[in-house]
Amino acid sequence: MSDLNRLILAAATVVMLYVSANIFCNIDNNVSTEYTVPAEDDVLNEVYASVIESNAEKLENVFEYGDRFCTVYISTKNDLSVHQRILDELNTLSGAICSGTESDYEKVRKFAYWVAENVYYNDVSANTSVNAEVICLETVLKTKTATCAGYSNLFSALCNMQGIYCINMRGGTCVAADTDEYLMNVPMNHEWNAVRLDGEWVFVDVTWLSNNNYNEDGYHKADDFDDMYFDISLERMSYEHRIDLVDYRDFKSSVNAFDENGRWAE
């Protein structure tokens, strides 16, 4: 297969994964993660009961992906040295962000707010074309711009560097004023995260936590964060988020997808 065809395949992989969880993926194992739904807001919990139940069920099965699956999220370049450089950069950045922090919860919090503060939502790409080049970590680290997949992958990768178990969730979103029926049927349009700490899920939507924006006029830094999107409860998350696909991405293992010549293995 030529390098051009490999690149086309890699780009197509990212797009097609939003349609099916079983395309171009290596399922290593299945992690059982039961979630018990506590009471929060009786009225809203009743309104969104179907979404809450569906989201809790999705979290019971997490598919674990690595090797070739993760390479396109790191870089679209067919070059091991590029991928290793980015992983090294991520490892250094991760260590710097959480330096002096002992608890994994505080590390996760620092990662979330660092990404929210330093990455800008790319309205230009969102309004034209979101592809593998836009959301890969090489681009996000270089340009500090991303759409939701780039935000969630950077947060996930920073956790991965510290050995913290972080999942990426993809699904449909809408404003909380819409009905549960609407939310259950809205097309898949978003990606966010959850981290497993002490047997519990900590839900994080770094894209919505950040209010930074990038458009034709340049970078626009927000004055504050939407703090509710860090460590949001399953119930509150389910008023706006419907989970369709859940996976764990072992970015470190992506180097195993290359052969002795530093190219993607056949």
Q: Is 138 part of a structural domain of the chain? A: yes
Contact 147, 122 (CB under 8 A): yes
**Residue 41: pLDDT band by 50, 70, 90 thresholds?**
low
**Residue closest to 91 by CA, chosen among 232, 257, 255, 246:** 255
Q: Is 265 part of a structural domain of the chain? A: no
The H helix count followed by the E strand count for the chain is: 13, 11
Report the range of poorest mean pLDDT among 22-26, 55-59, 96-100.
22-26
**Residue closest to 183 by CA, chosen among 15, 30, 49, 9:** 49
* Domains: count for the chain: 1
Q: Is 266 part of a structural domain of the chain? A: no
pTM over 0.95: no
* pLDDT tens string 138-179: 999 999 999 999 999 999 999 999 999 999 999 999 876 567
pLDDT at 34 over 50: no
Tokens of 176: 């909380």
Tokens of 256: 């195993």
Which residues span the domain enclosing 251? 3-257
**Mean pLDDT score across all residues of the chain:** 85
* Residues 152, 157: Cα–Cα separation, whole Å: 8
DSSP, res 188: P
More confident site: 193 or 15: 193
* pLDDT tens string 114-140: 999 999 999 999 999 889 999 999 999
pLDDT at 55 over 70: yes
More confident site: 68 or 165: 165
